[in-house]
Structure 1
Amino acid sequence: MTRLLIECSYVFDHHDANSGIQRVVRNVIRELPDANSSRECIPVAMLDGKLYRVLSLKPLKTSVWSLTSLKTRLEKMSNSFWIRHQSLERHTPFTQSHFARRVLYVICRLMALACFSIPIRLCDRFRKKTESPQRCIPLQHLPGDQLILLDSSWHANFFPLAEQLKRDGVGIVSVIYDLIPLTHPQFCDAGLVRVFNHWFDWIARTADGYIAISATIRDQVREEMLRRVGRTQVAQRWFDYFHLGSELDQCSENSRIDTNLVQLFKGQAPVFLMVSTIEPRKNHGFLLDAFERVWASGSQARLCIAGRIGWKCEALIERIRRHPELNRRLFMFNTLDDNSLEYAYSKATALVFPSYVEGFGLPLVEAMQRGLPAMGSDIPVFREIGGEFMAYFDLNDPQNLADLVIRQETSGVFPAARHVHEWRWLGWREASNQLVERIVFHKNRFSSVMETHEADSP
């Protein structure tokens, strides 16, 4: 029997995180197929240089729950603190003096260390001592196991453990969500670019196979591998992809829909919804440019931006908060839960998604699976997912999107070749099965090739 060790270390340690990768990890783990005679799927976490079988991704309701919640709140406060620091740097005297910026940074660094970094580390230390053994148990690896790096492992420090597992006969498979820090570093923090590049170098040397979340990214990974390790090494690895599911997994009967969101959808005007973290590559500025043209034409269409505030977006957030249409035809929600997001998908007129680059585009399938048509930037991965069921616009011309919005509003007909109700997509159970089946297929194929090679050797 082949054991697939599905790594979920970050989500295990950050249960409240709900961005794209964390949503994928949670749903894939939840929907892993049951064991059969040929394979068994085991969620695992690599903690402090050791391998553990994960019994529960969610924290148990014990006395240490307060430490888990406190750590999450401190991490959110730390993120907000550094966003405010970046905003402050854009004002006098910091724009005119390198020395002033340096002094500001040192002061903020010391404050963050005392108020956030040290308390977060203390929470982590005490929480792991008391909680982790209840949620996971040690796991002994076996030759022939396959370690599937499903989580966001580029920030992790488990490289030595993974290398030891490989020496002991464990195969390594890397799930690749995108190569954006390599292909579009201008949209990323410089620290992430360095960390991701180091991680990809390690993955290029270590992994036996690579499974992306779209055919578009699979092809990019193969090209990057050719550039880094050469054709001979690439011929010894396998490359594939699986597609993501669409259900929102954190809806709760006890959660109330945001009252301001409900009020937004009470009017008769069409509402165009944008769902994503607010960061440069999501291209919210282009969206505002397009809708300013829509409003200038006399349209009453509303734009609803839903997503947490990310990085390198201070000027954009300031533009939104000072916009004359804010809370009239422009609305922003930064803390919607899955219940409110489900409500928005069900009530909106269309999704708008003007990203420069994506690995997949999870909001697209979430929206379209619910019958909400989508307008997206004309990039390869959106064509892969949406086909003829989406409307596409040129990122070089905001008027192109404005025309689509006006056409939708005036005609009531969505400007795509085929109706979204004819579109079908897989759920998370099918996505998880697809991931497992393709890995097992390549593992068996690779084993057969190696056996043939050994039999042919003198």
Structure 2
Amino acid sequence: MRRIRRQGERIVSTIWLDVDDLISYLRRSSRPSGIQRVVLEIGRALLAEVPDRVGFVRRGNGPRDLVSLAWSQVETLLASGQEEESVTIAQVARSAHLTEEILADDPDPLKTLARTQLQVLKAGATFPVSVARYLWQSHLLKRKMKRVTDAAAVQSAEVLAQTAGRRFEDVAKPGDVLLVLGSPWHYDDYAKTVRWVRDDLRMSFALLIHDLIPIRRPQWCDRGIITTFTQWHRMVLPFADQIFANSRATADDVTAYMKEVRLPLAAPVQVVPLGSGFQNHAMAPAVQKPSVEGEYILFVSTIEARKNHELLFRVWRRLLQTMPKDKVPKLVFAGRAGWLVQDLMQQLDNANWLDQHIVHVNNPSDGELNALYRGCLFTVFPSYFEGWGLPITESLINGRPCVASNTTSMPEAGGSFARYFNPNDVNDACRVIKETLEDRAGLQAWTQKVENEFVPTSWTQSARVVLEKLTD
């Protein structure tokens, strides 16, 4: 990997982040999901760390048709919920609730850019309490304010932003890096892009792998996803100069897979610690009261076979048989229904959702989700297989203990702040959950430990690991 030198050294290279799949996702949905949020957060953190050395690209009409864009275009799309083909400085400012009068104060584009960035930071005051606490603990707001007001950094960022809308081959330089943090698997010709970037543009290529579930556990995936995902990785991974993974479990999976299929591994897979929370991208007003009455346990996840909702259905049925019914809290499924769960949903309907002891909150907003976290006794996460386990760390950052699976990456995500069970053993799951419910003093002490001792990982830490590896 060619070294990306810091400003002040003779040779300086740029990291180009491919955000095409993020743009495509935001066309369809105004609320990014797990992988898209990781791209957003690491993208923001990279920009905050080295604003003059990070650029962004999206795909045009073919594998050799990449176009640069400004990060402000991504933020505007995120805020508006729809894509604009051309985003001007004035449009970005309006999306950040700046008035035309403020823009008219000084037409200088550098000052306009600085005012827009400052306004985005001011919007941090509207974040939910849990997210604001995370930002405060990791000092991200302080750090970002310092960078935005640093004239040199703003000027460098503006120079790079002026490349927006230009062909990639006209702005990229030998020694630059194309970085993929998302999921562009829908492009079956992406290997042609990578070969063009490496062979013709003389750049390096790096990517972050979130999991290999469609390859390792295809029984939990749609058939089309299995084929697309497997072919994409077989074609692209051999050209990676650096592979990142979101956990040690995923890194070990990638290393083993590369060996099994006899693909070359240019360098050891580098683990990137993921940040512990997300900004409230929609800036939605906080919901003060959860939508569920009474005591409840929370499970945040899309309802799909791999997430193992069926196990909790069986656990709650047993709890209702072995405990007084008024001592059994409700179980809340927070998330939309996904694939391979038609039979489970029919069973829940037939059982009247255990006489409403199981409640489904469909596709909750960020504000609703934060209210659900604040109101629950603890969370559960019985997934069979994960690349990381974001709902576990989200639970911890919201001050709520988590009872989770003891497989794959989930013990990495929860550490000593979670308790674990075998997701294939209903007896083990029932035991851990029942013991937690019956020991309310212990649960209170556990909750206080999470609130007082859990230290979130910042997205700045994630970005710095990426930067350090790409600058070796």
- TM-score, length of structure 2 as denominator length: 0.71
1:94-146 Cα distance to aligned partner (Å, 9 max, x none)? xxxxxxxxxxxxxxxxxxxxxxxxxxxxxxxxxxxxxxx99854332211111
In structure 1, the residue matched to 2:17 is: 6
Equivalent residues in 2 for 1:57-76 (5 A)?
Answer: 57-59=74-76, 65=82
Q: 1:17 to 1:397 in 2, by over 3 A?
A: same
Alignment of 1:235-274 (within 5 A): 236-250=266-280, 252=282, 254-255=284-285, 257=287, 262-265=290-293, 267=294, 269=295, 271-274=296-299
Q: Is 1:278 aligned with 2:303?
A: yes
1:173 maps to a residue whose letter is A
- What is the distance in 1 between the residues matched to 2:44 and 2:194? 24
1:433/1:64 CA distance change after superposition, 3 Å: closer
Match of 2:41 among 6, 9, 27: 27
Of stretches 420-429 and 338-347 in structure 1, the one that deviates more from structure 2 is 420-429
Change (3 A) 1:320 1:251: farther
Question: Partners in 1 of 2:389 and 2:255 — Cα distance?
Answer: 20
Equivalent position amino acid for 1:195 in 2: T
Counting only pairs closer than 5 Å after superposition, residues 99-138 of structure 1 correspond to structure 2 as 136-138=165-167
Instruction: State, as a whole percentage, how many aligned pairs show the same letter.
Output: 26
Deviation, 1:150, is 1.0
Matched residues in 2 for 1:181 and 1:141: separation? Answer: 33
Counterparts of 1:364 and 1:374 in 2: how far apart (Å)?
Answer: 6
Residues 321 and 171 of structure 1: CA distance in aligned 2, closer, same or farther (over 3 Å): same
CA distance in structure 2 between the partners assigned to 1:29 and 1:378 by the alignment? 31
CA contact (8 A) 1:147 1:170 kept: yes
Residue 311 of structure 1 aligns to a residue whose secondary structure is coil
Aligned residue number for residue 66 of structure 2: 51
Preserved CA contact (<8 Å) 1:249 1:338: no
Distance 1:227 1:346, change over 3 A: same
For residues 74-101 of structure 1, give each alpha carbon's deviation from its aligned partner in whole angstroms, at most 9, with x where no partner exists: xxxxxxxxxxxxxxxxxxxxxxxxxxxx
Q: TM-score, normalised by structure 1?
A: 0.73
Find the residue that maps to 1:45 and give its secondary structure: strand
Tell me if structure 2 keeps the 8 A contact 1:3–1:42. Answer: yes
- Corresponding residue to 2:218 among 177, 180, 185: 185
The answer as to whether partners of 1:376 and 1:390 remain within 8 angstroms in 2 is: yes
Residues in 2 aligned to 1:416 and 1:194: alpha-carbon distance in whole angstroms: 44
Partner of 1:72: none
The farther-off stretch of 198-207 and 175-184 is 198-207
Which of 361, 367, 370 aligns to 2:398? It is 370
2: CA distance, partners of 1:224 / 1:61: 35
Matched with 1:127 is none
The C-alpha deviation readout for 1:222-261, integer Å capped at 9, x for no partner, is 111112226xx33x33310112113232355544639xx7
Judge conservation of contact 1:33–1:433 (CA < 8 Å) in 2: no
Secondary structure of the residue aligned to 1:355 is coil
Match of 1:225 among 253, 258, 276: 258
392 and 63 in structure 1: CA distance in 2 versus 1, 3 angstrom threshold? closer
Could you say if the C-alpha distance between residues 141 and 334 of structure 1 is closer, same or farther in structure 2, counting changes exceeding 3 Å?
Answer: same
Consecutive unaligned residues of structure 1, counting only runs of 5 or more, are 69-132, 445-458
Instruction: Return the match for 1:359 from 381, 387, 400.
Output: 387
Q: String of CA shifts for 1:285-314, please: whole Å, max 9, x gaps.
A: 011111111122223211000112111111
Match of 2:8 in 1: none
Matched, 1:197 2:230: yes
CA distance in 2: counterparts of 1:305 and 1:405, whole angstroms = 16
Q: What residue in structure 1 maps to residue 434 of structure 2?
A: 406
Task: Answer yes or no: is 1:319 the counterpart of 2:350.
Answer: no
- Name the CA distance, whole Å, in 2 between partners of 1:217 and 1:405: 27
2:148 equivalent in structure 1: none
Shift of 1:27: 1.5
What is the CA-CA distance between 1:183 and the residue it aligns to? 0.7
Displacement of 1:192 in angstroms is 1.0
Deviation at 1:383, TM superposition (A): 1.6
**1:287 equivalent in structure 2:** 312
User: Is 1:349 aligned with 2:377?
Assistant: yes
Distance (Å, rounded) in 2 between the aligned partners of 1:62 and 1:207: 33
Instruction: State the match for 2:239 in structure 1.
Output: 206
Count of matched residue pairs: 368
CA distance in 2, matches of 1:333, 1:62: 24
